[in-house]
């Protein structure tokens, strides 16, 4: 695991997400009531910024057209949605959120592989 220090945990308010750009990768980190989850930021439908979406349980709703994605798996909540997103292992140490940017996984890719 290669952990990258991202930001202090209080920078992400409860039940909100914040975008982080690292090179050409853009992720969104969410604070699910003290648990931090990281997902690719761009909705596979039309590229909507998921970091700006409303959270429902452990899923986020894209602010543009309302697609739902589970933040734990990256899977679309509705079966009819064809694409999924990568999720990244995330942990908190000394109040700092760390993300393993090298270990992003897309569940559907795995299923196909």
Partner 1 sequence: MKHLVVVGNGMAGVACVEHILKRRSDINQPDFEITIFGDETHVNYNRILLSMVLAGEKSADEIVLNDIEWYRSNNIRARLGVKISGIDRESRTVIDEEGRPTPYDKLILATGSSAFIPPIPGVDKENVHVFRTLDDTRSLLAKARKGLKTVVIGGGLLGLEAARGLQVRGCEVTVIHLMDSLMERQLDATGGEYLKRRIESLGIRVMLPRQTAALFGNGHVDGLRFATGEEMEAELVVIAAGIKPNTGLARGAGLEVNRGIVVNDFMETSDPDIFAVGECTEHRGQTFGLVAPLFDQARVLAATITENRGPVFSAPAPAAKLKIMGVDIFSAGSIDETETGVEVVRYEDPALGAYKKLLIKDNRLHGMILVGDVEDELVYMDWMRSGTDLAPLRRQLLFPPASDLGLAVADMPDSETICGCNGVRKGEIIHAIHQHGIKTMGQLKQRTKASTSCGSCAGLCEKLLRAVAPGFEVETKTTLCSCVPFSYERLREIVRGQKLKSVEEVLAVYGNRKGCEVCKPALSYMLDMLWCGDHDEDRSARFINDRVHANIQKDGTFSVVPRMRGGVTSPDELRRIADVADKYQIPMVKVTGSQRIDLLGVKKADLPNVWRDLGMPSGQAYSKGVRMVKTCVGTEFCRFGVQDSTNTGIELERRLENLFTPHKFKMGVVGCPRNCAEATVKDLGFVGQEGSWQVVVGGAAGKSVRKADLLVTVETTEEALEAGELFFQYYRENGNYLERSYDFVERLGIEKIRKETVYAPDEEKRKLLDRLHRSKDLSRDAWLERDRPANATQFVEIAPLERSEPIGERQLV
Give me the least distance between CB of 8 and partner 1, in Å please.
Answer: 8
The yes or no reply on residue 91 touching partner 1 (CB under 8 A) is no
- The beta strands (E) that lie in 49-104 are given as 54-56, 59-61, 68-70, 87-88, 90-93, 96-100
The one among 1, 24, 34, 82 contacting partner 1 by CB under 8 A: 24
The yes or no reply on residue 94 touching partner 1 (CB under 8 A) is no
The one among 35, 57, 78, 91 contacting partner 1 by CB under 8 A: 57
Strand pairing of 25-32 and 35-40? antiparallel
The residue whose two tokens read 């910024």 is 49
The yes or no reply on residue 86 touching partner 1 (CB under 8 A) is yes
Cβ(29)–Cβ(15) under 8 Å? Answer: no
Cβ proximity to partner 1: between 48 and 76 the closer is: 48
């Amino acid at each position: 695991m290669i952990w990258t220090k991202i930001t202090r945990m209080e920078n992400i308010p409860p039940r909100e997400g914040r975008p982080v750009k690292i090179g050409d990768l853009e992720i969104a980190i969410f604070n699910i009531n003290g648990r931090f989850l990281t997902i690719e930021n761009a909705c596979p439908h039309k590229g909507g910024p998921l970091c700006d979406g409303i959270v429902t349980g452990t899923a986020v709703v894209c602010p543009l057209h309302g697609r739902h994605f589970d933040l734990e798996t990256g899977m679309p909540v509705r079966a009819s949605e064809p694409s999924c997103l990568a999720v990244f292992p995330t942990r908190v140490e000394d109040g700092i959120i760390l993300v393993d940017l090298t270990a992003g996984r897309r569940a559907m890719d795995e299923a196909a592989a």
